[in-house]
Amino acid sequence: MKKISEVLGTKYPVIQGGMANIATGEFAAACSEAGALGMIATGGLDPEGLRREIQIAKERTKQPFGVNIMLMHPAADEFAKIVVEMGVKFVTTGAGNPAKYMKMWKDAGIKVMPVVAAPILARKLASIGADAIIAEGSESGGHIGEMSTMTLVPQVVDTVDVPVIAAGGIADKRQVKAAFALGASGVQIGTCLLVSEECPIHENYKQALLKAKGTDAVVTGRIGGTPVRVLKNQMTRNYIQAEKKGATLEELEKFTLGSLRKAVFDGDTKTGSLMSGQTCGQLTSIRPVKEILSDLFEC
């Protein structure tokens, strides 16, 4: 089996998780410069925007970086071609099965690391050429699956013969060690990077994360089948109440439409969607990415 260092080629075995509307070319480059694999998120971008962000990352770093492709995005087919055209070396995928792009990406020499929430999809994707599997447990921020990192990671490790990267619930060195004990050979982090100095979210969002307890990271959309972990606020209360009363998906969409942008750009902590994992309860200060990463691996 390939070693994780052969797959990533970074100082630390860490991927900065793609984060829609947040992980810009500039942020990804900052994470790569600090020793992680920086990832540009496609959520919130159009094809022109993705080209621009890749160009920015190329100008800001000579370290490896990649692109996270949200497979549900209406422009996913175009994004899939742009990463090839622009010589991107790493792709992670979220929310689905990237099988139809696999041959094109592998022919272009791209390393592909799908994010999965279930062992069965991991096995399928490893068998068609995934270079590593990112197993993301439900402690994580954003869209989540059913299984926790504790149960998902070992089951994926036992299912595939490529390196496994654990995601969800990792924000300090104890959790990195736990991920390795479960058989992972790298980690992907999101929530703890939201409170980095370089992260381009509104200051109100960062302060809300610093104040939050682990139990404040609740899940909306459980009933409708699109669970998303976010910080509890007016929006989540309204959403969950309406959901319990049997609101239709269309009615529920009114609460979430554009709500991540409201949180990220306007700092609206009441009606915005402050996506966050359960590690929010561990965050105590705003620090440079470099310090966050070195603390994860300090002996």
**Cβ proximity to ligand FMN, 189 vs 247, nearer residue:** 189
Q: Which residues of 15-43 are buried (b: 16+ CB within 10 A; e: fewer)?
A: bbbbbbbbbbbbbbbbbbbbbbbbbbbbb
Beta-bridged to residue 2, according to DSSP, are none
Interacting span for ligand FMN (CB under 6 A) from 17-25, 27-35, 74-82, 98-106? 17-25
The distance of closest approach from Cβ of residue 41 to ligand FMN in the complex, given in angstroms and rounded to an integer, is 4
Calpha distance 266→164 (Å, rounded): 36
Confirm if 209 and 274 have CB atoms less than 8 A apart: yes
For 6, the 3-state DSSP assignment is helix
Which one of 6-14, 134-142, 176-184, 218-226 is the stretch in contact with ligand FMN (CB under 6 A)? Answer: 134-142
| Cα 57–Cα 292–Cα 227 angle in degrees, nearest 5 | 80
Crossing angle of helices 149-157 and 119-127, rounded to 10°? 30
Residue 179 interacts with ligand FMN (CB under 6 A): yes or no: no
Number of residues interacting with ligand FMN: please give it, by CB under 6 A: 29
CB 14 within 8 A of CB 188: yes
The answer to whether residue 18 forms part of the interface with ligand FMN (CB under 6 A) is yes
What value, to the nearest 5°, has the Cα angle with vertex 222 and ends 202 and 215?
Answer: 55
**CB of 114 or CB of 247, closer to ligand FMN:** 114
Instruction: Give the one residue of 13, 35, 141, 163 binding ligand FMN; rule: CB under 6 A.
Output: 141
Q: Quick one: which of 117, 275, 283, 296 contacts ligand FMN (CB under 6 A)? A: 275
CA atoms within 13 A on the CB side of 212: 29
**Residue 70 lies near ligand FMN (rule: CB under 6 A):** yes
Among positions 10, 61, 159, 188, the unique one binding ligand FMN when judged by CB under 6 A:
188
> Is 277 one of the binding residues for ligand FMN (CB under 6 A)?
yes
Which of 30, 45, 115, 228 is in the footprint of ligand FMN by CB under 6 A?
115
Contact residues toward ligand FMN (CB under 6 A) are 17-20, 22, 41, 43, 68, 70, 94, 115, 136, 139-142, 167-170, 188-192, 275-277, 279
